[in-house]
Amino acid sequence: MAAANLTSQTLRLPTPTSLSLSSKLPLSSFSLPLPSHRRRSLVVFVSADAKPTVLVAEKLGEAGLTLLKDFANVDCSYNLSPEELCTKISLCDALVVRSGTKVSREVFESSGGRLKVVGRAGVGIDNVDLAAATEHGCLVVNAPTANTVAAAEHGIALLASMARNVAQADASIKAGKWLRNKYVGVSLVGKTLAVLGFGKVGTEVARRAKGLGMNVIAHDPYAPADRARAIGVELVSFDDAIATADFISLHMPLTPATSKMLNDETFAKMKKGVRIVNVARGGVIDEDALVRALDSGIVAQAALDVFTVEPPPKDSKLVLHELVTATPHLGASTMEAQEGVAIEIAEAVVGALKGELAATAVNAPMVPSEVLTELKPFVVLAEKLGRLAVQLVAGGSGVKSVKVTYASARAPDDLDTRLLRAMITKGLIEPISSVFVNLVNADFTAKQRGIRITEERVILDGSPENPLEFIQVQIANVESRFASAISDSGDVTVEGRVKDGVPHLTKVGSFEVDVSLEGSIILCSQVDQPGMIGKVGSILGEENVNVSFMSVGRIAPRKQAVMAIGVDEQPRKESLKRIGDIPAIEEFVFLKL
Ligand X SMILES: O=C(O)C(=O)COP(=O)(O)O
Ligand Y SMILES: NC(=O)C1=CN([C@@H]2O[C@H](COP(=O)(O)OP(=O)(O)OC[C@H]3O[C@@H](n4cnc5c(N)ncnc54)[C@H](O)[C@@H]3O)[C@@H](O)[C@H]2O)C=CC1
Q: Which of the residues 62, 310, 479, 542 is marked catalytic?
A: 310
Instruction: Please list, in sequence order, all residues whose beta carbon lies within 8 angstroms of the beta carbon of residue 336, skipping any fewer than 6 positions away.
Output: 150
332 part of the interface to ligand Y, by CB under 6 A: yes
**121 touches ligand X (CB under 6 A):** yes
- Please identify which of the residues 281, 387, 418, 504 carries the catalytic annotation: 281
Check: CB of residue 154 under 8 Å from CB of residue 391. no
Provide, rounded to whole angstroms, the least separation between the CB of residue 82 and ligand Y: 21
Of 173-232, binders to ligand X (CB under 6 A) are: none
98 as an active site residue: the answer is no
DSSP state letter for 262: B
- Name the segment binding ligand Y (CB under 6 A); options: 8-16, 77-85, 248-256, 562-570: 248-256
Q: Which of 30, 7, 14 is nearest to 357 (CA)?
A: 30
Binding partner of residue 220 among ligand Y, ligand X, none, CB cut-off 5 to 8 Å per kind: ligand Y
Q: Which of 557, 579, 571, 381 lies closest to 473 in space, CA to CA?
A: 381
* Whether residue 208 lies in the annotated active site: no
Longest Cα separation, the chain:
109
The CA distance from 263 to 55, in Å, is 38
CA dihedral of 301, 307, 312, 317, whole degrees rounded to 10:
-30
Phi, psi dihedral angles at 240 (to 5 degrees): -65, -40
Query: Contacting ligand X (CB under 6 A), which of 61, 119, 124, 519?
Result: 124
The nearer residue to ligand Y, 99 or 526, going by C-beta atoms, is 99
Q: Does 219 bind ligand Y (CB under 6 A)?
A: yes
Q: How many CB atoms lie within 10 A of CB 409?
A: 19
Examine residue 365 and tell whether it contacts ligand X (CB under 6 A). no
Comparing CB distances to ligand Y, the nearer of 197 and 355 is: 197
Q: Which stretch binds ligand X (CB under 6 A): 328-336, 423-431, 520-528, 582-590?
A: 328-336
Find the binding residues for ligand X in span 142-181 (CB under 6 A).
Answer: 147
In whole angstroms, the minimum distance from the beta carbon of 218 to ligand Y comes to: 9
The verdict on whether 12 is a catalytic residue reads no
For the CB of residue 91, give the shortest distance to ligand X in the complex, in Å.
24
Site mask for ligand Y (CB under 6 A), range 138-167, x = bound = ------x--xx--x----------------
Residues 6 or more apart whose Cβ sits within 8 Å of residue 127: 97, 99, 100, 101, 102, 103, 120
Nearest distance, CB of residue 270 and ligand Y, angstroms: 16
- The residues, ordered by sequence, that sit 6+ positions from 171 with a Cβ below 8 Å of its Cβ are none
Would you give the binding string for ligand Y spanning residues 261-290, x where CB under 6 A is met?
A: ------------------xxx---------
Q: Which does 462 bind (CB under 5 to 8 A by kind): ligand X, ligand Y, none?
A: none
Distance CA 472, CA 405 (A): 5
Tell me the pairing of strands 234-235 and 215-219: parallel
Write the binding mask 39 to 78 for ligand X: x where contact by CB under 6 A, - elsewhere: ----------------------------------------
* Cβ-based neighbours of 257, under 8 Å, separated by 6 or more: none
Stretch of 66-74, 191-199, 352-360, 561-569 lying at the interface with ligand Y (CB under 6 A)? 191-199
CA atoms within 13 A on the CB side of 7: 7
Contact status: 98 vs ligand X (CB under 6 A): yes
Residue 329: count other Cβ atoms within 10 Å of its Cβ. 20
List 219, 329, 481, 497, catalytic entry: 329
Residue 432 is given by DSSP the state G
The catalytic residues are 281, 310, 329
Return residues touching ligand Y (CB under 6 A): 123-124, 144, 147-148, 151, 196-202, 219-223, 251-254, 257-258, 279-281, 305-306, 329, 331-332
